[in-house]
């Protein structure tokens, strides 16, 4: 597990301002403040779902402000499907599930671009079903373990 070198991601390729502009464009948000609120809320919620190397690696490739939002929440042991994630975040914020789904899609589309395909695949492998769609990816069926 530790014998494979990790890429040096000490300096993010994307700045927080660039990330906010991407999310603002994707989500058609009227203001930078509303965009930043969506980014911090969604990344905080995602931080409650991710653990281990995937959480660390994602935080390393995000801009510092986004990484702090991701890691500000302690991971929650209760697994939630993608739809459960949206409902939980709606309940926590008082927003409608439709608004949360919109925010999640806009923010996670930017995260997908920043993380890249390899890290995204690892993240989706860790999360329960339904998250691929939130990241703007096709939801592929996972093979069932063979019965012995």
Contact between residue 139 and residue 129 where contact means Cβ atoms under 8 Å apart: yes
pLDDT of residue 124: 95
Which pLDDT value is given to residue 21? Answer: 97
**Residue 115: phi, psi to the nearest 5?**
-70, -35
HSE, side-chain direction, 13 A CA sphere, residue 68: 4
Q: Which residue has the tokens 């991601």?
A: 9
Residue 80: per-residue pLDDT: 94
Summarize the confidence of residues 90-102 as an average pLDDT: 97
129 in Cβ contact with 82 (< 8 Å):
yes
Query: Which residue carries 């329960």 as its tokens?
Result: 128
Q: Which alpha helices (DSSP H) does 28-146 contain, by range? A: 32-47, 52-61, 64-71, 82-93, 97-126, 131-134
**Residue 22 vs residues 110, 114, 135: alpha-carbon distances, Å:** 6, 11, 14
- Residue carrying the six token digits 């660039």: 18
pLDDT at 91 over 60: yes
- Is the pLDDT confidence value at 141 over 90? no
Q: What is the pLDDT of residue 145?
A: 58
Q: What pLDDT digit, counting tens, does each position of 28-80 carry?
A: 999 999 999 999 999 999 999 999 999 999 999 999 999 999 999 899 878 89
């Amino acid at each position: 597990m530790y014998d494979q070198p990790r890429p040096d991601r000490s300096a993010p390729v994307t700045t927080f301002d660039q990330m906010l502009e991407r999310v603002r464009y994707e989500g058609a948000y009227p203001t930078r403040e509303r965009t930043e609120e969506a980014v911090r809320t969604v990344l905080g919620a995602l931080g409650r779902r991710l653990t281990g190397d995937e959480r660390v690696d994602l935080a390393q490739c995000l801009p510092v402000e986004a990484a702090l939002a991701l890691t500000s929440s302690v991971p929650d042991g209760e697994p939630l499907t993608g739809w459960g994630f949206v409902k939980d975040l709606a309940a926590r914020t008082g927003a409608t599930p439709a608004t949360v789904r919109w925010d999640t899609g806009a923010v996670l589309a930017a995260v997908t671009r920043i993380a890249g395909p390899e890290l995204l695949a690892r993240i989706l492998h860790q999360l329960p079903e339904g998250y691929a769609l939130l990241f703007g990816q096709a939801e592929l069926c996972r093979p069932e373990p063979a019965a012995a």
